[in-house]
Structures are given as structure tokens and as C-alpha cells.
Chain A
Amino acid sequence: MLDNNQLLRFTTAGSVDDGKSTLIGRLLYDSKSIFEDQLEAIANTSKKRGHDGVDLALFTDGLRDEREQGITIDVAYRYFTTPKRKFIIADTPGHIQYTRNMVTGASTANVATILIDARHGVIEQTKRHAFIASLLQIPHVIVCVNKMDLVDFSEEVFNNIVRQFEEISSKMLVTDVRFIPMSALIGDNVVNRSENMPWYQGAPMLHTLETMHISSDINKVDARFPVQTVIRPQSESHRDYRGYAGRVASGVLRKGDEITVMPSGFTSKIKSIDTFEGEIKEAFAPMSVSITLEDDIDISRGDMIVRSNNTPEASQDIEVMLCWLNDAPARPRAKYTIKHTSNDQKAMIKEVVYKIDINTLGRISDDKNLGMNDISKVKIRTTKPLMVDSYRENRVTGSIILVDDATNETVAAGMVV
């Protein structure tokens, strides 16, 4: 029965004070995803620290430093399954100095959950989280208005927060937004429906996550197949086999399709789409397959197979929204390795067009320095063309990272404008 179910990835952004850890703990506890020995361990810790009852927030404790400081530093991944879906939570820290970790967690998410403390309403941090969800084009947003128990479960308070949020989100690119009034502490509207808020007609959080339509989150229109590696068995039974291995980035590819190999421009037809289980007629994102072609063409890692009537732009000059991820700031006109799908090239940041003030969301044009957590619009020049789509249309072929050749570290993440 489980086998037909989908995988849904969501992020939680917020600080300890918003009750983020309590919310995750509640979600896992009420969906019976916490094991007895884990519960016992956090019950012991709760007692040691002098907390009343079992502090569910402790369940999300990770590294030693995080336990000692009581904060989340890095992205932590957590898993739970219900009879309807499998869920992956990317639990990210909410503080401004961890913007890069929020961006990381958001990059693969279907859903962003944004926590608001009902007592404080929409604050600067909320704005930042909504902006990141919009920048990373997370298809769905759930605004969790938490701690409703501390505002007497007031419908008016909730409606005010909804209005405040809609005011800021109307200027952003978030389309599917839902609001849920809840109390993670007492378990209202997380897994179980609240009896304290009869005025709320919507579903609790878990039901919302279980039933949300996510099949359309992946681009099914533009067929893009970045070649990862070439499979050549050179064995008796497969002497002339040449399979182009990769994962379909977007769209659908079918046997017999007219294709173009980029950047060379050679054309051919799909002879077969192979998997371990045998040949299949069509492959769609995000399937991993091997493709063979009718003609012998020189193809290697970094090339992209696309349908001939729908090709991406091949360009050496791209404009991206760039989030800087490294302690060491960007060096003007320095060379970086740019990674885009399976393609690596050298690149240079030619120009910083503007930086974004992450608190006011205004543009800064007199400061061109890119430091940790800075988000900016930049122009990048690459040594060879990249086959890009805009990030809005394609999260896989519209994203890049920059690697510093001096340290080999991943220093920036970018979304093609």
C-alpha cells in the first residue's frame, strides 16, 4: 500500500523561541515516529535540566555544541512516514547569521513552513524566511501561527497575522500559502484537530502535508537530460553498448524522440531508455536511466541531451541571484569553478548589480562586497557556455554553485534570473 506514496520534503525555519523544535517534536511524537528509547533519553535529559514533563524540543538536539548552546547550527534532516506519505524535514536555524543554512535546506524543499509566535505577529525574521522561500521558489508555504494558547486562541489575533503576512508576501513570488493556527506545546492543529479553536475550518498541519498536490512541483514540460557518465561495459554480451547515464532533470523523454546534444548541436533519435529492470518507453524527472542513441556521436559528462524542439539557452554570460555561503568574502574578478548540472567550468563574477538588505528587502547599490549570507544579483562570465533555464522555470537547470579553487570549498549558490 505504501509503495504508491510520494516523498515530500519540507523545511522548518524559525528559532527555538518560536517553538520550532517543539513543533517538530510534536509532529513526530503524535504521528508515533519517536521510539521508546529516544523518548526515554529525552525524558532523562528533561529531568536533568529541571524541565516540567518531557520537553519534546530536546528531540531535535544534534551535535554536542548545539546541545550545549541550545541552538541549531547546521541543517539537520529528520524522517517520518505516515500511511499516506514519507516526509523529510530539513530543520534549519532561523537566525540571520544562518541564512546560508536556510537557503541550503530550502533548495530541495516542496514546502516551507514558517513559524510565527502568535504573541509577536509578523516580525523581521518572518519577512526574511518568506523571502528565502520566495527566492528559492519553494512551491508551497505553510505559515504556522504558533502559541495560540498564549493569546486565548483568539481568532482576531490569527486574522491580523494572516493580513500582516499577506501584505509582505504579495510583493514576493510565493503562490500557494496556507495559514494554520496552532499550539505545538499542547498539540493543537499539529496532528490532531484543536478543540480550542472551533472557528478554524481548515485542516491540521499533518493532514495538510499529507494531501497537498506536489506532482506538479517538478517541471514536466522541458525535457532536459544532463549526462553524468557514459556506460561502456565492453563485455562479451554488450560489446558495442554506449549508454548515457543520468537523471532526468525535467520533462519527459520517449523512445524515438528527436534529440539535440548540447552544446555540440548534433542531432539524433533516442534508440532506447534502459534501466536495470529492462527497457522502458519513457523517462520523466527525477528518474535515473541510461539512454542510447541511433547515431554514434561524441558525448561526455557535462553535455545535455534535450528534445530538438525545446532547447535551453547556451550562454557564457548569465545573471544570477547569488547567496554567499563562505566566511571568506568574494574576491573581485577572482576565478571560481562553476558547477551547473553535471557541467564544470571556470567562471568570474563580472559585476555585482545590487545587494539585498535581508531585513528591509530593499536594494543596496553602493555596497558591492559579497560576504557571508549576503544575497545579491550578479553577472557571471564563464569560459564555456552553460545550458541554462531560468530558475523560476526549472530548479535543476537553473541552479549553480561556485567553488573556490584555492580552498575547494563551496562558496556561493546561485539561481539563474
Chain B
Amino acid sequence: MSKYYLSYLDELESEAIFILREVWAQFQNPVILFSGGKDSILVTHLAKKAFHPAKIPFPLMHVDTGHNFPETIQFRDDIIKELGVELIVGSVQESIDDGRVTEEKGKNATRNALQIGTLLDAIELNKVDCAIGGGRRDEEKARAKERFFSHRDDFGQWDPKNQRPELWNLFNGKHFQGEHFRAFPISNWTEMDVWNYIKRENIAIPSLYFAHEREVVRREGTWIPNSEFLVLEEDEKVETKKIRFRTLGDITITGGDESDADTLQKIADEVAGMRQTERGNRSDDKRSESAMEDRKRQGYF
């Protein structure tokens, strides 16, 4: 007798495909927000499945902070070529040059918050009415309140206390001109689910996720990669360590862990034994208890 139930990974996959098709059916001009991180790679992979045998019917949008890992940009360009889809780039450097945003100064300066302005500009400029993201509810407490279809007002802002209720699998993407939506097909996935699925499907991910030798600096309990953007303090020294990155953000703020995990199996095993959350090494989230909520309200991913 056949079994008539899905394993949890198959159910999560089916749910994500359903959301992606729903976005395509309900919006005129959706894009996938592509950062080159594992979550946006996963969303892109699921989109490939959702519209097979057709191509992914919408472009990928990358908000380029200019502070990238070179590996990420290479990976992005390769995937665009493979899929044959359009790439839209919003450049933070251009926003700075145009005087639309002002760069932070000091030791822990990052362009993280500056992405908000660039992202909203790119959304407006390209008349995007739905930006599909790889946000997951298990990542952070403000994200735990996020909807699959999340409304943004005409300033791109999120109002967490006044969200549309979402029931069953009925999603309401109706909006007025100038407003847009964010859609999160992998809302219900955890970090562990993502790795188990990447392993199962053997999805290509940037080499940065695998253990590799790299020049790093010890800062606030984590290994920050050495780069042209890093300003060294007097007591800091550059060392070479075998590390891997658990999440990928700007090269200036993403800390690595010492690790020997150089295969997907080893990564999955390592993640299963982790006792720290994945954003624990992201200094952008350490700024205050509601750092993520505050950025999300303004229009962050």
C-alpha cells in the first residue's frame, strides 16, 4: 500500500512552491531578492521547481552593498547564466554617490542599514509589486511575526501591529498603487531544514559555507574576514584559520566559525550540534534587543 502523507521536507517544499505560484498569479511584476546566501539560493531553486518546465518567470534582484565577498558575486553571475533570467542590481555605492544615503563611520561601520534605501529605490524604479525573500520565522523574534504575504505601505514600511490575518492557504495580495508586498515562501523552514534540504537536493552553494583557510581577525567573539574594508584596531592581528560561514552578509560584518566541515553532510551534522543561533555572529543584530524589528519596520528584508 502506498503511503498517503508527505515527509516534513516534502510538505515544506510543496508549501513554498504553492506560495511562489500564488505570487506569480497575484502580482504583475514580482522579483526574487537574491543575496547569494543559502536562503535566497533555496528560494531560487524552489522557483525553478514551481514553474518547470518553463523558466523562472521573474528576475532576480540583488542589493549590492559594494562590501561583498568576491565569491558571492561570482556565484550570483553563474546562477543568472544557468537559469537564463534577468538580473536587476541596486547599488548602495550609487546611492551614497548620489547623496541619497550617508555612510556610517567608525570601527563597526556597516552598510547594512543603507541597503534599505537602495532596496526601496530599486523596487520603485523597477515598479516591483512583490519582492520574494528568503526570510524565515525562526531566524529572529521580529521575523516570527511575519506573514507569507507581507504588506508594505507606499513608503515601503512594515506595520507589525496592523498586519492582515492569514488563514488556511488563502493569501491576499491586493494593494494600491505605490504599495508593494514582500513574500516569504520559506517562512516555516528552520536553519536545519534548509541544510537538510540543500543536502538532499544537492543544491550548489557558495564555497564560503564550506570550511576553508582564510585571513581573519578576532573581534567580539567571532572571526571577521580580512578585507580592504576592514579597519584594524591596535590590538588586533590578522591570522589564518580554517573557518566557514554560517550566514552570508556583508564581508565587514559576517563572522565565521572555526570548522572542519567541508561537505554538505558535515555541515548538516555540525548545524545539528550547534548551540548558538545562526544570527549570533551577525553584529547587525547585536546592536539592540529590537534591532531587527526596527530595521524591518523601515523596509529591510
Give chain A's interface residues, CB within 8 Å of chain B. 2-7, 35-38, 61-65, 67, 73-79, 81, 85-86, 88, 100-101, 103-104, 107-108, 214-215, 218, 220, 228-229, 231-235, 237-238, 241, 243, 245-247, 252, 274-276, 282, 284, 286-288, 290, 301, 325, 337, 339-342, 395-396, 399-401, 403, 408-410, 413
Report if B15 contacts A (CB, 8 A): yes
In the complex, which residues of chain B have a beta carbon less than 8 angstroms from the beta carbon of A340? 170
Please provide the chain B residues from 51 to 91 with a CB less than 8 Å away from any CB of chain A in the complex. 51-55
Tell whether, in the assembled complex, residue B145 and residue A339 are in contact, meaning their CB atoms are under 8 Å apart: no
Residues on the A chain within 8 Å of B21, using CB? 228-229, 245-246, 288
Residue of B nearest to A228 (CB): B21
Most B CB atoms within 10 A — which of A74, A276, A413?
A276
**Distance between Cα atoms of A229 and B293 in the complex (Å):** 34
Residues of B within 8 A of A67 (CB): 289
Does B258 have its Cβ within 8 Å of any Cβ on chain A?
no
Residue of B nearest to A4 (CB): B7
CA distance A9 to B54 in the complex (A): 33
Most buried by A among B7, B54, B193, B290: B54
Q: How far is the CA of A401 from the CA of B9 in the complex (A)?
A: 28
B36 to A: closest C-beta gap in Å: 22
A410 lies within 8 A of B275 (CB):
no
Instruction: Give Cα A413 to B290, complex, Å.
Output: 32
Contact stretch, chosen from B134-142, B223-231, B242-250, B259-267: B134-142
State whether A7 touches B11 (Cβ < 8 A).
Answer: yes
Once A35-B277, A108-B168, A228-B18 are accepted as A-B contacts, the answer to whether A62 and B141 lie under 8 Å apart by CB is: yes
| CB neighbors of A among B252-301 (8 A) | 274-277, 280, 289-290, 293
Considering the chains assembled together, what is the distance between the CA atoms of A410 and B161 in angstroms? 14
Bound Cα distance A274, B145 (Å): 34
Are A6 and B5 neighbours in the complex by a CB distance under 8 Å?
yes
Chain B's interface size range is 35 or more
B163, B165, B192 — most chain A CB neighbours (10 Å): B165
Bound state CA distance, A247 and B168, in angstroms?
Answer: 13
Closest to A325 in B: B165
Cross-chain contact B172 with A410 (CB below 8 angstroms) = yes
B25 partner, pick from A107, A228, A235, beta carbons under 8 A: A228
B4 and A220 contacting across the interface, CB-CB below 8 Å: yes
Contact of A36 among B6, B167, B276 (CB under 8 A): B276
Can you list the 7 inter-chain pairs with the closest CB atoms, starting with the nearest?
Answer: A233-B54, A276-B49, A7-B8, A288-B17, A107-B167, A408-B174, A86-B8
- Closest chain A residue to B192, Cβ basis: A81
**Cβ 8 A contact of B22, one of A7, A104, A228:** A228
* B-side contacts of A64, CB under 8 Å: 289-290, 293
**Beta-carbon contact of A88 and B53 below 8 Å:** no
- With A107-B168, A228-B18: A63-B11 Cβ-Cβ less than 8 Å: no
Contact B167 A401 (CB under 8 A): yes
Could you say which residues of chain A place their CB within 8 Å of the CB of B55?
233, 235
In the complex, besides A74-B161, A108-B169, A276-B48, 6 extra interface pairs with C-beta distance below 8 angstroms are A63-B293, A76-B145, A233-B54, A408-B175, A408-B176, A410-B165
Do the beta carbons of B6 and A301 come within 8 Å of each other?
no
Complex contact B277–A337 (CB within 8 A): no
Note all chain B residues with C-beta closer than 8 A to A4: 7
Partner of A79, one of B163, B188, B280: B188
Q: B-side interface residues toward A, CB under 8 Å?
A: 2-15, 17-18, 21-22, 24-25, 48-55, 137-138, 141-142, 144-145, 160-161, 163-170, 172, 174-176, 187-188, 190, 192-193, 196, 200, 274-277, 280, 289-290, 293
- Give the docked Cα–Cα distance between A2 and B22 (Å): 29
Residues of B within 8 A of A104 (CB): 165-167
A-B contact pairs, 17 of them (CB 8 A): A2-B8, A5-B7, A6-B5, A7-B8, A35-B274, A35-B276, A62-B142, A74-B160, A79-B190, A108-B169, A214-B5, A218-B5, A229-B24, A232-B54, A233-B54, A241-B53, A243-B53
Contact: A63 with B172, CB < 8 Å?
no
Q: What residues of chain A lie closer than 8 Å to B172, measured between beta carbons?
A: 339, 401, 403, 408-410
Closest Cβ–Cβ distance, residue A69 to chain B (whole Å): 11
A408 to B162, CA, bound (A): 13
Query: A61 touching B141 by the CB < 8 A rule?
Result: yes
Q: Which of B4, B170, B190 contacts A215 (CB 8 A)?
A: B4
Cα distance, A231 to B18, chains bound together (Å): 14
Interface residue from B2, B50, B174 paired with A282 (Cβ < 8 Å): B2
Complex alpha-carbon distance, A237 and B290, angstroms:
51
Interface pair B276/A396, CB less than 8 Å apart: no
